[in-house]
Chains A and B, each alone.
Chain A
Amino acid sequence: MIIIGEKINGFVPKTLEAIRAHDDEYIKYIAKAQADAGATYIDVCAGVEPEIEHETMKWLMDLVQEVTDTPLCIDSPDPQVVVDMIPYANEVGCLNSISLEGNKCDVILPAIAGTEWKVVALTCDDDGIPDDPKVKYEIAKKIMAKVDEYGVDHDNILFDPLVTTLGTNQQSFLNFIEAVELIKADFPDVHFTSGLSNISYGLPYRKAINMQFLSLAMAKGMDSAIMDPTSRDMLAAMFATDALLGNDSYCKNYLKGFRNNLFGPKKD
């Protein structure tokens, strides 16, 4: 599983507070905690005004890289900011994100062609976030045409078919899965991720929905998640599911996660 640790994001109120207060220690603390919990990438998104976004991103990236070698996932709604930040990354990581909105593909894809940088690809366009899996799939096909045009390796694409909220559309999980299956049939080498906590928006005890979504989606081929790896319940669901799906020989990862106190009853 490719885990993108989601906590350093200015759209998370507590993180934004730390960013506004220039709280170096808090940022370093959540960076380290996510790295220790096994994050593959640590997402960094400033979520601030455009005038100070570059400097804020650089500051955040430096802080994270001070405490861990885990590669970054450079995240901004502005594709130019994403590309501008690449030189400040110590390790090859992931970019977040492309879609058919505006010129995102044409700014980001040429910057990573021929490299090992990965990129999250959202199935939305200038018309919005579609519910219909067939529309998600059509968008994915257009994105893949761009991916091929710029010569980016399919293995470096992490599709996020943008799950909508279960509270407002009870077909949202099924639509997500249908989109995964449609895209996978045409492009077997791409990966699938999800900023999955969106699914439980507006519902109580969100963790239950998030955990079951993770397991069910993994069973259908999702091999990445944008999530909080310091959530012990989410990690337990992830390791257990991976073992159940036959991806974990001798249950090594499950056991290692348990021994390392990443999930289960908390040991001091």
Chain B
Amino acid sequence: MAATIEDLAQAVFDGDSRKAKKLSQKLLDAGEAPLDIINQGLMGGMSEVGVQFKAGTMFVPDVMAAAEAMSAGVELVKPLIAHEDIQSLGTVYMCTVKADLHDIGKNLVIMMLEGAGFNVINGGVDVAPEKIVEDVKELHPDIIGMSALLTTTMLHMKDTIELLKEEGLRDQVKVIIGGAPVSQDFADEIAADGYSPDAVSAADLAKSLVGAA
């Protein structure tokens, strides 16, 4: 039986890496366009996982397994696409703010952003505003995503935005924030461009900020 793009999306949805890889190869062999395999098959499956996660019917390990299955396929197919054809929605720089070591949420957001088609730079944890600004100058991300789990450290989000202003960089980059103590009110207060309560919404938010939603 011939493999279909839908089967591939299902394999990603099921978090089945081996099957995702096998079906990606079969689809390539059958002459399916590599871009379609990625966008509709691999990312299509991931996007359904996002929907279910948001609805509370899928959970963190489901998301991780699906992300892994997606990567297994992408790895295989991506080298076959001419560099200029690889679509990226943009570059997101993700980090956990200064004095904060919590990275589970941040890493989930990274997975969802990659699944949505962004190029993501992982800045790590305990990243000072000065370092973020330095990285923005060097790496030119379209979006900065900051995470904080403590009410004490979330204030560094504000410091970062102020430093970006001082350095004249604020207009060049969008800033989105998240984490347990963070809220839309706080985002408004510090003039961030967006807030999201979970990893899937973060990817949707990033998409809307680059005009892709």
Q: Residues of A at under 8 Å CB distance from B? A: 10-11, 47-50, 53, 77-78, 101-102, 124, 126-129, 164-165, 167-168, 170, 201-204
Contacts and interface: CB of A to CB of B under 8 A. Distances in A.
A168 B125 contact: no
A201 to B, nearest CB: 7
A50 B158 CA distance: 14
B200 to A, nearest CB: 13
A165 B149 CA distance: 15
Interface in B155-194: 155, 180-181
Interface stretch (B12-20, B37-45, B56-64, B86-94): B56-64
Contacts of A77: 99, 150, 152-153
Given A11-B181, A47-B181, A50-B152, A128 B60 contact: no
B119 to A, nearest CB: 22
A77 B60 CA distance: 27
B60 A167 contact: yes
Contacts of A129: 101-103
Contacts of B64: 167-168
Contacts of B142: none
A202 B109 CA distance: 13
A202 B61 contact: yes
Given A101-B101, A128-B103, A128-B125, A167 B151 contact: no
Contacts of A126: 126
What 8 A-B pairs come out closest when comparing CB atoms?
A: A202-B60, A167-B60, A128-B101, A167-B61, A128-B125, A47-B151, A77-B152, A129-B101
A165 B63 CA distance: 14
A165 B103 CA distance: 11
Which applies to chain B's interface (DSSP): helix, strand, loop or mixed? loop
A170 B125 CA distance: 22
B212 interface: no
Contacts of A201: 60, 104
Interface of B: 59-61, 64, 99, 101-104, 107-108, 124-126, 149-153, 155, 180-181
12 contacts: A10-B151, A11-B151, A47-B151, A77-B150, A77-B152, A78-B152, A126-B126, A128-B101, A128-B103, A168-B64, A203-B60, A203-B61
A77 B155 CA distance: 14
B101 A165 contact: no
Contacts of A168: 60-61, 64, 104, 107-108
Contacts of B149: 11
B150 A202 contact: no
Which of A47, A49, A53, A128 gathers most chain B CB within 10 Å?
Answer: A128
Given A168-B108, A201-B104, 8 more contacts: A11-B149, A11-B151, A129-B101, A167-B59, A167-B60, A167-B64, A202-B60, A202-B61
A164 B64 CA distance: 15
A165 B108 CA distance: 12
Contacts of B180: 11
A9 to B, nearest CB: 11
Contacts of B125: 128
